[in-house]
Structure 1
Amino acid sequence: MAGVTSPDGADGKVADAVVGHWVDRLAPRGLRPYLRLARIDRPIGWWLLLLPCWWSAALAALAGHKPFPDPAHLLLFLIGAIAMRGAGSTYNDIADRDLDAQVERTRSRPLPSGQVKTRSAAIFLVMQALVGLAVLLQFNATAIWVGMASLLPVAIYPFMKRVMSMPQAVLGLAFSWGALMGWVAAFGTLGAPALALYVGAFAWIVGYDTIYAVQDIEDDEIAGIRSSARLFGRGLKPAIGLCYAISAVAIATAAALAGAGPVGFVGVALFATHLGWQVFRLKPGDGRGALLLFRSNRDAGLILFAGLSADALWQAPF
């Protein structure tokens, strides 16, 4: 697992970015702050936004008796996830630039460190959003409207850490939206499997983002930033375990409703096992370990996607 850079930001790098990323080695120096603003040097974010889309596309393949998820949809979701994660991160950093300056892990980000001006960040935000819109317009009308509705939780999320004790719930509403998109892109309507998957993705996101928030508990208390990690306190591990249990049950329900067979449920079981392993390994005082566990959710999500996709291929009529 790759490490992280030093937290001082003296080299222009961001504290929790992947060491040796191509952004730091190959990108033109003038573009690096913008790529960091879009979190290109921290790809885990777009992976976690993308995976519910891919899960939903795999469920749609199962329900539609297709041998695999629509490749064009998978590619569009990939492009859209990278663009919209970048836009969301830029928006979040504009809203949080004063708070970020008070937290060790975030004060090296491009805006609080002065590498990018707020006006330039706003222009960059619009450019990324336009890419996301271009992707969304490739889908059917219902999918376009469903996708547009995701902007509400995205818009309010940065401000929730100031007013509610569990802002991770709002992030869950936004980041799990892809669980609806794969299904509606395939069928032009929402269905029970997609709704159950949305619940499962929501609980998964609240769980993993609580692990992520473990890194900042002390600084968040000083800055007055609220988080589920602070809310759960000594009950942190049981609370994350409960989130992950709800996620596994809801996703298993979604798989059953979509007609999954044994191969799909093996994927669900391996996904659930990975989540249990995360809870077992979590140490509330270990910020670096929490970051590595948070990042491991990409692997958990890919395991689930592989299981559902393999089941679609196994069951497909040839």
Structure 2
Amino acid sequence: MTFDFIPSPLRNKFVDYARLLRLDRPIGTLLLLWPTYWALWLAASGFPSWPNLIIFTLGVFMMRAAGCAINDFADRKVDGHVKRTNARPLATGRVKPFEAVALFLGLALVSFLMVVLWTNTLTFYLSFGGLVLAFIYPFMKRFTHLPQLFLGAAFSWAIPMAWAAEAGELAKVTWLLFLANVLWTVAYDTLYAMVDRDDDLKIGVKSTAILFGEADRAIVAGLQTFVILILISVGTQAELGIAYYLGLLGMAVLFVFQQHMIRYRQREECFRAFLNNQWAGLSVFIGLALDFALR
């Protein structure tokens, strides 16, 4: 299907917006989506309500896109100096800074209104934390070597929100799941940061990849180990069965494979290891969903 009936300048602008929002790169959406589904299924002890499933699926897509817009706004003066990001629309001037901010605010507002109109009071209050984290994360790499920790909190905040929407309250397991996802996010985003480490050192951008230095692989492996252990604790407390633990086994095998990929710290292999995490999250979700479906 072609869109030749749309004037070329308008068509090009839509393409630039799509690239700004990473609509052509769904990896970030999937990394945010699977833990949100973990929370929905666990809170519901099975298939969640359709309204919550739709709200949080759409919310994940919109908030990830909003996060990309504000991230590129924050990085608009440095992306041009990084090999992986120098062709992004803001870095090349095809999208203006005010357009990125407007897209962030519009997407965040729509997501916020969905929460206000169709969930409960607890979820409404929690949503403010999500908005703050989504906004501040992109700026943290200028002040701390731990921006991945802030990304972990931002990517994990959908867990208590989804749980609250489905169960009307939070539980100890909610925060265990939150902690596991924060650590997992720090691990896989460190792999992502290893791709840009040389460029980041030149331009003064901070990251865990720089902070960890030669210990990067060992620390990532340690974080991945803690993720598995915490998710085992989640399974124990939620009285989950063999299907769930097989899903965790799948995640563990993929973690080992990722360590193999990054053994020489090559850019391409580190990026492949980062991308591989979408399958790790999916493995846990399949195990969790099957466990409840087979009861």
- Same fold per TM (> 0.5)? yes
> For residue 251 of structure 1, what is the aligned residue in structure 2?
231
Normalising by structure 1, what TM-score?
0.86
Can you give the 5+ residue segments of structure 2 that lack an aligned partner in the other structure? none
Deviations 1:237-268 (A, max 9, x none): 11100111111111121222222122212212
Can you give the 5+ residue segments of structure 1 that lack an aligned partner in the other structure? 1-21
Alpha-carbon distance in structure 2 between the residues aligned to 1:246 and 1:71 = 32
Deviation at 1:92, TM superposition (A): 1.2
**1:303 has 2:283 as partner:** yes
Alpha-carbon distance in structure 2 between the residues aligned to 1:70 and 1:258 = 19
Alpha-carbon distance in structure 1 between the residues aligned to 2:265 and 2:231 = 30
> For residue 11 of structure 1, what is the aligned residue in structure 2?
none
Question: Which of 241, 253, 258 is equivalent to 1:273?
Answer: 253
Alpha-carbon distance in structure 1 between the residues aligned to 2:214 and 2:270 = 16
Question: What pairs up with 1:236-247 in 2 under 5 angstroms?
Answer: 236-247=216-227
Deviation at 1:136, TM superposition (A): 1.9
**1:92 has 2:71 as partner:** yes
**1:41 has 2:24 as partner:** yes
Query: Which AA in structure 2 matches 1:244?
Result: Q
Do the aligned partners of 2:44 and 2:167 also contact (CA within 8 Å) in 1? no
> For residue 55 of structure 1, what is the aligned residue in structure 2?
38
> For residue 91 of structure 2, what is the aligned residue in structure 1?
112
The secondary structure found in structure 2 opposite 1:39 is: coil
Structure with the bigger percentage of helix: 2
Do the aligned partners of 1:84 and 1:128 also contact (CA within 8 Å) in 2? yes
- Cα gap change, 1:173/1:284 in structure 2, threshold over 3 Å: closer, same or farther? farther
**1:149 has 2:154 as partner:** no
Alpha-carbon distance in structure 2 between the residues aligned to 1:292 and 1:262 = 29
Deviations 1:114-148 (A, max 9, x none): 00111222222222112212332221111121122
Alpha-carbon distance in structure 2 between the residues aligned to 1:174 and 1:201 = 10
- Cα gap change, 1:203/1:95 in structure 2, threshold over 3 Å: closer, same or farther? same
> For residue 185 of structure 1, what is the aligned residue in structure 2?
165
The secondary structure found in structure 2 opposite 1:112 is: helix
Deviation at 1:91, TM superposition (A): 0.8
Do the aligned partners of 1:84 and 1:132 also contact (CA within 8 Å) in 2? yes
Query: Which AA in structure 2 matches 1:110?
Result: P
Alpha-carbon distance in structure 2 between the residues aligned to 1:173 and 1:122 = 21
Structure 1 runs (4+) greater than 6 angstroms displaced: none
CA RMSD for the aligned pairs? 1.9
Do the aligned partners of 1:61 and 1:312 also contact (CA within 8 Å) in 2? no
Do the aligned partners of 1:212 and 1:290 also contact (CA within 8 Å) in 2? yes
Do the aligned partners of 1:55 and 1:305 also contact (CA within 8 Å) in 2? yes
Number of equivalenced pairs: 288
